[in-house]
Amino acid sequence: MDLIHTISSKTLELATLSDIIFYDKKIELSEEAISKINNCRKYLNERMVGQDEPIYGINTGFGSLYNVKISKDKLTQLQENLVMSHACGIGDKVPNNIVKLMLLLKVQALSYGHSGVQLETVLRLVDFYNNDVLPIVYTQGSLGASGDLAPLAHLALPLIGRGEVWYDGKVMTAEAMMKHFNWQPITLLSKEGLALLNGTQFMSAYGAHLLMKSYKLSYFADFIGSISLDAFDGRIEPFNELVHLVRPHNGQLKTAARIREFLENSELISQKKQHVQDPYSFRCMPQVHGATKDTLEFVHKTLKTEINSVTDNPNIFIEENEIISGGNFHGQPLALALDYLKIAMAEIGNISERRTYQLISGLRGLPTFLVDNPGLNSGFMIPQYTAASIVSANKQLATPASVDSIVSSNGQEDHVSMGANSATQAYTLVYNVERILAIELLNASQAMSFRKPKTSSPLIETFLKSYQTEIKFVTQDEIFHDLIVKSIDFIADFSIENDLIFD
């Protein structure tokens, strides 16, 4: 397998991004990208020689200071001042894997030749990525409108020898990092600071990471839900394709097909039932899980467009001899998509907790709280409390951030997307869903043990055998925190093929 990904004009697919991350591939610029970057910078240099008229962000101030003309001898200082003054992020540090994605997506966006950056600047970003030099970026500070200004300023600071980076397992100053690699700070030319700071790479990096994780959790929700269904002595009839062909939402059809496949040749699902219907949390998995799948497809479409786009400002068009100040940095498409992702994934957690509740309720031959000697043992009573608490928190996190807007820059930036808040809220919410599913799996595995000697499908039995080597049957009360953490780690570390996740 080629362990180098070449940045080019070829569409960057989510599955490709997943492979780059999974195999820890290095990146390089294609000859096409190098040519586009150089040609655009050459055009801008030549254009600026005789340019006396103001061009926003190139020889003017920024935001509401757009009318302030800057002399040619101050253009480098203008760009460096921009990076430093906008580096006012605060709050928690952005996770390293998200920062690394920000670097990759920023390189991708600058490679199209509409941003006017030096090749040297882009190559240094490539060096950062390939050497795991990860700038310290903070979660708070972006309005998601003029690009992710504060986060991207922190991403750019080390280019000029400022700020901090994570390297070799520790935080160090950019200056110390430069000495280690024997690198010199980049001297930013006209427009470069603005090209680095304008853009949606903070929102996009969060979105890409969370979408990949959400696809995996969607798959797991179907699989764990199938285990719970079998452990609850549920019925297979609601998953018959005939039911779903007369209401043929794609996600619904896919979920029903998956569950039928997961439960194929299950002794438990095939046995005669004493009941004619199951609760909605089991029976309606195709409709609920499926609606989330359809939402993920919408988010995927939006994100795919975004990560293959030019999102800084102004945009340079060489052939048309135009430098146009527009609004491609505005994060509204991502803000709406990330809010939609939050709502859809919250519902996966919501219905999962309901299945957990059914499993511990002493129904259909299962012991109350899934433990022998209930009363002496509380058993699985409180893990459901934990899941319920997280579900409630997710309902609050799922409130759309994109419906808010606060005026900034003296009214020049009078509508903002708040997509960065959508992104960080989505991060917490999606990881919460993983915890809720881990608790359901813990309960379903315990419940399935009470069904022996009857068995589930070969696929589920093989999975549970692996799971139960890490998380064993609970015979009497123990510290459930430890079991939940092990269950979360099991899901997080479990590898699923891309074609199964993204199919």
Which residues are identified as catalytic? 56
Work out the angle at residue 83's Cα, subtended by the Cα atoms of residues 141 and 210, and round it to the nearest 5 degrees: 45
Residue 445 Cα distances to 240, 351, 359, 491, angstroms: 25, 18, 10, 13
Q: Write down the H helix ranges in 264-380.
A: 267-270, 280-283, 285-307, 332-359
HSE-CB for 33 with a 13 A CA cutoff: 20
Calculated CA dihedral for residues 181, 182, 187, 188, nearest 10 degrees: -10
Contact yes or no for 445/350 (Cβ under 8 A): no
Report the distance separating Cα 232 and Cα 443, nearest Å.
Answer: 11
449 is written with which tokens? 């043990």
Contact yes or no for 298/337 (Cβ under 8 A): yes
Q: Write down the H helix ranges in 263-331.
A: 267-270, 280-283, 285-307
User: Which class for 40: exposed (0-12), middle (13-18), buried (19 or more C-beta within 10 A)?
Assistant: buried
What b/e sequence results for 470-488 when a residue is b if at least 16 CB atoms lie within 10 Å of its CB, and e otherwise?
ebeebeeeeebeebbeebb
322 is written with which tokens? 């135009």
| Neighbour count for residue 214 (Cβ, 10 Å) | 28
Contact yes or no for 315/323 (Cβ under 8 A): yes
Rama region for 161: left / alpha / beta (φ>0; ψ in -120 to 50; rest): left
Which helix (H) or strand (E) element contains residue 315? strand 315-317
Q: Write down the H helix ranges in 164-232.
A: 174-181, 192-197, 201-231
Contact yes or no for 25/5 (Cβ under 8 A): yes
What b/e sequence results for 156-168 when a residue is b if at least 16 CB atoms lie within 10 Å of its CB, and e otherwise?
bbbbbbbbbbbbe
| Neighbour count for residue 4 (Cβ, 10 Å) | 10
Contact yes or no for 124/192 (Cβ under 8 A): no
Report the distance separating Cα 24 and Cα 231, nearest Å.
Answer: 39
Question: Using only C-alpha atoms, what is the Rg of the chain?
Answer: 26
Contact yes or no for 171/96 (Cβ under 8 A): no
